[in-house]
Chains A and B, each alone.
Chain A
Amino acid sequence: MRNIVNLILCLVFFQISAQKKQILYNFAELPQTLLLNPASELNYKFHLGLPFLSGVSSDYGSKGVVLSDIFAKDNRSINDKIAEAIQNLSYRDFTNINTQIEILSGGFRFKDDYYISFGFYQELDAIGYYPKDALDFISEGNAPHINRAFSAAGIIYKVDFLGVLHAGISKKVNENLTIGGRFKIYSSALNLESNNNTGLFTTNGGTNNIYTHYLTDVNLKFRTSGLIENNEYITDPSSYLKNTFFGSNMGIGFDFGATYRITPQLEFSGSILDLGFINHNTNTKNTSVTGNFVFEGVALEFNSDDNFENWNEIDQRFQDEIPVTDDFESYISWRSTKLNWALKYSF
């Protein structure tokens, strides 16, 4: 019996290969927990991280569709699986990836009740909602969806690659309460974002022709920083890495946290992270697309040479009525703020 149990334990442990950073929340034995809650209760006098090694974490998540929905080895057609996955998506489903590499980290206890920590890390943080209507249009077209309004509101994404220099302090207020805060200076190397988009594409039965196509209330905005310089894409990876350390696009932010021991066994803790913003003013490019457009085909004239002009007129009318404009103005992007809380009961 014991051998069987040992075998099971071995098999189980050999399967374990990774963990995500969120698991470190409330993990008082590891100083990285301070990045998840600056008010974590630590019991050591100091810590020092090994550059590039002490803190490497990466996690990928998806809501609404998971990898096995698409890539499971189940002998089903991948066309059917993708169609089914798109069908089941909602406007609230998203995918995200977050990767952090600690370059520097350290901390020390001060006057028994204080713990001061500091460091520098690089972070890739990306979130994108699944644009269900756009996916439907790309995969099925508009023919099966006459009278349906395809909305552009589902185009929401944000990608950040940045360096974060931070310093924080936690204070044990009394035996039951510990509070903490962290100040962060952000240096953005790359930001791509688009949100608050509007616009509908509809194909309806027409009056003058079989169909009339409408682009209604189109207002799309795409902002980039650090990606384009002098109208050319920056392709040198080292320039991105360089800009993570006091580059031109800087910002500030705060983390706050608290840990409260309700009873000797029961403890509540919570934190709010990355409450801050970045001001992007270098290598920015903002693109906006706005307007309304109606298309019902080309009105043909007989015994006339104007028919070739008709297509040009439609092209020109499209460009006039749905203009695409670029500018290089600075803008502010808010960090993706995260909220953690936990209730812990110790036996």
Chain B
Amino acid sequence: MKRVLQLSVICCLLFNSCYEELNFDQINDYVYKPVVTSSLIFFSVVPGQFFNDLGIQERSITSVSGFRVFEDSYVKEDIVKIDFSALIKNDFDRDVTIDVYFLDDNNTILYQFASIVTSAGDLENNYTEEVFVNTSPTIINTTKVKIRAELEDIGTSLNPNATSDFELKSSVTLYIESEI
């Protein structure tokens, strides 16, 4: 009898298994937080582009473009923060001010950056704007972006034949927080 009991205990130890207590409800607390970055718009302008058909220099030039970052419903619903980054090179002989406006389909301004002034000869101006969606919730309705480049008035015109340029490169970083 003693051997049977010993054998039984050995068998139990050998063939027994155990498990850890699990709680599947934890999945309801899971929030995944991808941070996605993408190139946005870029341009390069030379002095000649500030002159109209009559050969007169304009103080500013403007561009309006479509903006499709928020077209995706997943991004639109779950985005919490947006970083706009710009790398600006000003090879002109005067300051250049960049204004950026975010517009909806009706051209209503939903958000705008503070004016970005890049000094003459500044070849590496890094600019970042953080936008928290909970404080600027309408920005996610943006469908267009308007950019205006304005030259500093120093009393003289640009040389329309000069090869110096003004460049802007940009990216957007989206901070997403989403539940399963």
Contact = CB atoms under 8 A, between A and B. Distances in A.
Interface stretch (B19-27, B108-116, B155-163): B19-27
8 contacts: A5-B9, A67-B22, A68-B20, A141-B37, A297-B170, A300-B43, A304-B63, A310-B65
A296 interface: yes
Interface string A81-105: 0100000000000000000000000
A298 B38 contact: no
Nearest to B22: A71
Given A9-B8, A71-B27, A210-B170, 6 more contacts: A15-B16, A82-B32, A139-B32, A211-B39, A299-B41, A300-B43
Interface stretch (A162-170, A201-209, A332-340): A201-209
A56 interface: no
A143 B35 contact: yes
Interface residues of A, number: 48
A257 to B, nearest CB: 25
B32 to A, nearest CB: 5
**7 residue pairs, one from A and one from B, having the closest CB atoms:** A141-B34, A297-B39, A307-B65, A143-B35, A300-B43, A71-B22, A141-B36
Interface string A106-127: 0000000000000000000000
B169 interface: yes
Contact of B66 (A8, A70, A212, A307): A307
A78 interface: yes
Contacts of A70: 26
A53 interface: no
A298 B19 CA distance: 55
Nearest to B178: A138
B34 A209 contact: no
A89 to B, nearest CB: 15
A272 B110 CA distance: 66
A158 to B, nearest CB: 24
Q: Categorize the interface residue count of chain B.
A: 35 or more
B169 A311 contact: no
B24 A71 contact: yes
Contact of A2 (B5, B49, B85): B5
Contact of A311 (B42, B62, B66): B66
Given A67-B22, A208-B169, A210-B85, A297 B40 contact: yes
Contacts of B12: 8-9, 12
A36 to B, nearest CB: 19
A142 interface: yes
A5 B8 CA distance: 9
B97 interface: no
A212 B23 CA distance: 43
Contacts of B173: 143
B117 interface: no
Contacts of A12: 12, 16
Contacts of A82: 30, 32
Nearest to B147: A300
A137 interface: yes
A341 B117 CA distance: 75
A138 B34 contact: yes
User: Which of A70, A296, A298, A299 has most chain B Cβ within 10 Å?
Assistant: A298
B68 interface: yes
B61 A303 contact: yes
Interface string A1-43: 0100100110010011000000000000000000000000000
A237 interface: no
B34 A140 contact: yes
A68 B38 CA distance: 36
Contacts of B35: 140-144
A73 interface: yes
B133 interface: no
User: Which of B18, B62, B87, B170 has most chain A Cβ within 10 Å?
Assistant: B170
